[in-house]
Structure 1
Amino acid sequence: MMGNLAAWKKGVIDGIPIGLGYLSVSFSFGIIAATAGLHIIEAVMMSATNFTSAGQFAGVTLIASSALLMEMALTQFIINSRYFLMSAALSQKMDPKTSMVHRIIMAFGITDEVFGVSVAVKGKLNPYYTYGVMSVALPGWTLGTFLGAYSGDLLPPSIVSALSIALYGMLLAVILPPAKGNNILSALIIISMVGSWLFSQVPYLQNISSGVKIILLTFIIAGIAAALFPVKGEARNG
């Protein structure tokens, strides 16, 4: 495992595309937050302390509709519950001697994209690598929120909508490179996409929240894959 400084620098480099993507996506969030009546400072503080796209978009929607605090708390818990699984997966890549302080800081900065690049690191995960990614991703998310809340009304709706699509492109950039040359992983990605599509089309499944949907698909698909294609101990750490 590389030294702390080298790991942090590598994380910063790998985090630049994520930071740029967050800058554009959070721009849209800043506009929505301002439209919902939040002050610029309130919108920026929400991004700096929450750091979750789906949770923040849902939160602003609930704020605009004057939802109850309990309703908001429950919604956030369900939407962000997928991070339990991500944190558990990352804990398996870390040195067991890693202090609780490092684990707590990493847990705060885990997003879909930060998790994607961190879990793809070969060998044991140095917390400073994730810190490097967070060093670029979090400022990008916060700055985009500020710019959107401050000047979003100056842009036409078509541009704002285009900026929001950047999140999906960023997710593809995270999952596609590891899938090259790996038939099993490629098949699992396709199955996951089909499963997600089915959840959006089947009548009863449509009512399930995105957070619960992700957890169900993760447990089912990952569980079956782990049973059919177990990873040897050396390969898991490699």
Structure 2
Amino acid sequence: MDKILTKRDGFLDGFPIFLGYFSTAIAFGLVCRNVNISFFNSTLISLTNFAGSGQFLMVNLLANGALLFELFVSVLLINLRYLFMGAALNQKLGDDIGVFKKIIVAFSTTDEIFSVAVLKPQKLNFAYLFSLELTSYTGWVTGTMLGYLIGVALPHKLQLALSITLYAMFASLWGHETRKSGYKILIVGFISAALNSLLILKLNMAIGWSFVISMLSATLIGSLFIGSEDE
């Protein structure tokens, strides 16, 4: 019988994500400062969004004078993957998680949190998920604040180095999934990357649209090619 997941388990599983988010959020805080978004608004964005790629896209659009509608549609599309993640995660939630608690869990579900949680063999209880998500969320918000405050003092090369931490985290998660599902995950990942490159380089598609199409295509291919572990 699998042991019941605890708050401590959530903290331990969330701490590596905390470290990754903290360094990535420092880069986000630096970007906000560089495009003249105030400290208050930068912090508010991280408090109310908690979406790394979506936030970087949002700030880039704001810096280029995008309309509110363009901002809404772009961020909606880049975060559309959470619709699929939420549906998959919902199948693993324990009976103690009602509608209100599901809303809390949904707000703080990110790519990394989803990958950690969905691989647990046990049913997921609220205590574990809340601890996992709060630990990660704290890293994102505090990193944003620190990045904004120390932006002036950091060397330019270090600022550039911090900007790749999000990609490093994704690579680490991909490696973890590969150990679980083998070469099939690699094939799905390469198909998604190739499709994204094709859409951008050959069809001159906007990066936001190419990302969404490649991501959704990979999700569909993965569901057909890999299938459910429970089947």
| Amino-acid identity (%) | 32
Report which stretch shifted further, 6-15 or 53-62. 6-15
Aligned equivalent of 1:83: 82
TM-score, length of structure 1 as denominator length: 0.87
| Aligned 1:15-30 pairs, distance under 5 A | 15-30=14-29
TM-score, length of structure 2 as denominator length: 0.89
> Quick one: distance in 2 between partners of 1:153 and 1:92?
46
8 A contact 1:200–1:206 mirrored in 2: no
| Aligned 1:154-233 pairs, distance under 5 A | 154-180=153-179, 182=180, 185-202=181-198, 203-204=202-203, 206-207=205-206, 208-226=209-227, 231-232=229-230
> Quick one: distance in 2 between partners of 1:174 and 1:113?
7
Write out per-residue CA displacement over residues 79-133 of structure 1, whole angstroms, 9 at most, x where no aligned residue: 0000000000001111356310111000000000010111011121112222111
8 A contact 1:82–1:212 mirrored in 2: no
> Quick one: distance in 2 between partners of 1:196 and 1:205?
17
> Quick one: distance in 2 between partners of 1:173 and 1:223?
24
> Quick one: distance in 2 between partners of 1:147 and 1:199?
37
CA distance 1:205–1:186, change in 2 (3 Å):
farther
> Quick one: distance in 1 between partners of 2:171 and 2:128?
21
Deviation at 1:164, TM superposition (A): 2.2
Structure 2 residue identity aligned to 1:51: F
- State the secondary structure of the residue aligned to 1:137: helix
> Quick one: distance in 2 between partners of 1:28 and 1:177?
25
Structure 1 residue identity aligned to 2:229: V
- State the secondary structure of the residue aligned to 2:182: helix
CA distance 1:205–1:13, change in 2 (3 Å):
farther
Deviation at 1:177, TM superposition (A): 3.4
> Quick one: distance in 2 between partners of 1:119 and 1:43?
30
Q: Give ranges in structure 1 of 5+ residues lacking alignment.
A: 234-238
Deviation at 1:193, TM superposition (A): 2.5
Write out per-residue CA displacement over residues 183-229 of structure 1, whole angstroms, 9 at most, x where no aligned residue: xx122221122113212331138543323321221112222322xxx
**How many residues align structurally?**
225
Q: Give ranges in structure 2 of 5+ residues lacking alignment.
A: none
Aligned equivalent of 1:147: 146
